Amino acid sequence: MNAVVKRFPVRLDIRRGAVDMTHGSGGRAMAQLIDELFVKHLDNVLLRQANDQAAFVVPAGRMVMSTDGHVISPLFFPGGDIGSLAVHGTINDVAMSGARPLYLSAGFILEEGFPLADLERVVASMAHAATTAGVPVVTGDTKVVERGKGDGVFITTTGVGMVPAGVEISGDRARPGDAVLVSGSLGDHGVAIMSSRENLEFETRIESDSAALHGLVGDMVAAVPGIHCLRDPTRGGLATTLNELARQSGVGMLLQEDAIPVKPEVTAACELLGLDPLYVANEGKLVCICSEPDAARVLEVMQAHPLGRQAAIIGSVIEDRHGFVQMQTSFGGSRIVDWLAGEQLPRIC
């Protein structure tokens, strides 16, 4: 980036400066922000070409594409921030097809007055997440909205990836008799976010599980290409994801509450707030549905990966024209695990 010094004799004051309307105007200020902040951190061959698009060669085969908008509050939370989340979220959406993610794009909507130091922290975190995952951000966009019309920063990322031959993963492929697996403990992300919200601060050691899952998925599909469904249980938690899959596939599910991994700290926080961990968001977990004979092998591969150590078989797919997700409770009864209605709210009494 030797062009930086030549084009902008006075460097951007990242330590004390803030986003203003000129940073989205398309003029010199915007070019400087891109060079000295975005490209500085996200630097790679394609981005450095500074075109309005990135051009790359792809192998022949089935390509997937996914996009995700990130509007989280607070922007920084235990275990991550909006930057790392924006990278992991889209990588995971691409990976849930069984694909190997290749490239990302990032669109930023910045609010006037947002400190450049915070923006740099977010972008550096994105860069770190993208580098670690081996999935570069190759094109991007920046807009600025007036103060009061945003919430600091919104980030939309889009990703593309290639599906290996022979892999046909889709939410409509769950069949009665299939096994339902999760890759680890549930509710960590949502509880970490809640613990750092302004009016709800409570002491907990729980960190967000935000992570890129394509490595885990790669190992899984390499071992068992015939996996039926993969999905990451983000907003709405495990309960909502399983209901989506049940509806798409036209089946029911029967879970064993005892088998569902939840950390004691997460259970405790949910108890305190009157929430159900099955509805709390995750950002580094996946649900897998595969044929019963494949389940043991898939579980073994998951548990061998650092992001799947706590993986477990939590239930099975059953025939049910109502599409109910039912659960045998640890207590010995049974109930439905329903769609989330509205938002989860703490109880009063």
**Residue 172 CB, nearest distance to another protein (Å)?**
13
Residues 157-216 that bind another protein (CB under 8 A): 199-200
Contact region with another protein (CB under 8 A), list: 30-38, 142-150, 166-174, 268-276: 268-276
Here the tokens at position 306 are 């650092």
Closer Cβ to another protein, 169 or 262, answer by number:
262
**Residue 236 CB, nearest distance to another protein (Å)?**
11
**Residue 247 CB, nearest distance to another protein (Å)?**
5
3-class SS shares of the chain: helix, strand, coil, % to 5? 35, 20, 40
Size of the site for another protein (CB under 8 A): 35
What's the rounded Cα separation, in Å, for the pair 132 and 276? 33
- Give, in degrees to the nearest 5, the angle at Cα 300 between 283 and 130: 35
Peptide bond into 225 cis (omega under 30): no
Report long-range pairs for 20-26 (Cβ below 8 Å, ≥24 apart).
Answer: 20/112, 20/113, 20/144, 21/112, 21/144, 21/146, 23/110, 23/142, 23/144, 24/110, 24/142, 24/143, 24/144, 24/145, 25/144
Which residues are 80's β-sheet partners? Answer: 77
| Secondary structure element (H or E) that encloses residue 122, with its range | helix 116-133
256 binds another protein (CB under 8 A): no
Contact region with another protein (CB under 8 A), list: 133-141, 144-152, 263-271, 302-310: 263-271
User: What's 35's DSSP letter?
Assistant: I
345 binds another protein (CB under 8 A): yes
335 binds another protein (CB under 8 A): yes
Which residues are 18's β-sheet partners? Answer: 115
Backbone φ and ψ for 169, nearest 5 degrees, come out as -95, 130
**Residue 304 CB, nearest distance to another protein (Å)?**
30
What's the rounded Cα separation, in Å, for the pair 7 and 284? 41
Question: Which of 45, 274, 293, 304 is in the footprint of another protein by CB under 8 A?
Answer: 274
323 binds another protein (CB under 8 A): yes
Question: Which of 128, 143, 247, 305 is in the footprint of another protein by CB under 8 A?
Answer: 247
**Residue 153 CB, nearest distance to another protein (Å)?**
23
57 binds another protein (CB under 8 A): no
Question: Which of 22, 43, 67, 324 is in the footprint of another protein by CB under 8 A?
Answer: 324
- List C-alpha distances in Å: 150 to 185, 267, 343: 33, 33, 22
316 binds another protein (CB under 8 A): no
The residues, any chain, with a CB within 8 Å of residue 228's CB and separated by 6 or more, are: 169, 170, 173, 174, 175, 178, 289, 290, 291
* Cβ neighbour number for residue 296 with a 10 Å cutoff: 12
Question: Which of 210, 243, 249, 316 is in the footprint of another protein by CB under 8 A?
Answer: 243
Question: Which of 246, 286, 293, 319 is in the footprint of another protein by CB under 8 A?
Answer: 246
Contact region with another protein (CB under 8 A), list: 32-40, 104-112, 206-214, 337-345: 337-345
Question: Which of 67, 267, 291, 303 is in the footprint of another protein by CB under 8 A?
Answer: 267
71 binds another protein (CB under 8 A): no
For residue 91, which of 142, 33, 34, 137 has the smallest C-alpha distance? Answer: 137
261 binds another protein (CB under 8 A): no
For residue 253, which of 313, 312, 326 has the smallest C-alpha distance? Answer: 326
319 binds another protein (CB under 8 A): no
76 binds another protein (CB under 8 A): no
**Binding interface with another protein (CB under 8 A):** 199-200, 243, 246-247, 264, 267-268, 271, 274, 276, 321-326, 329-336, 338-339, 341-343, 345-349
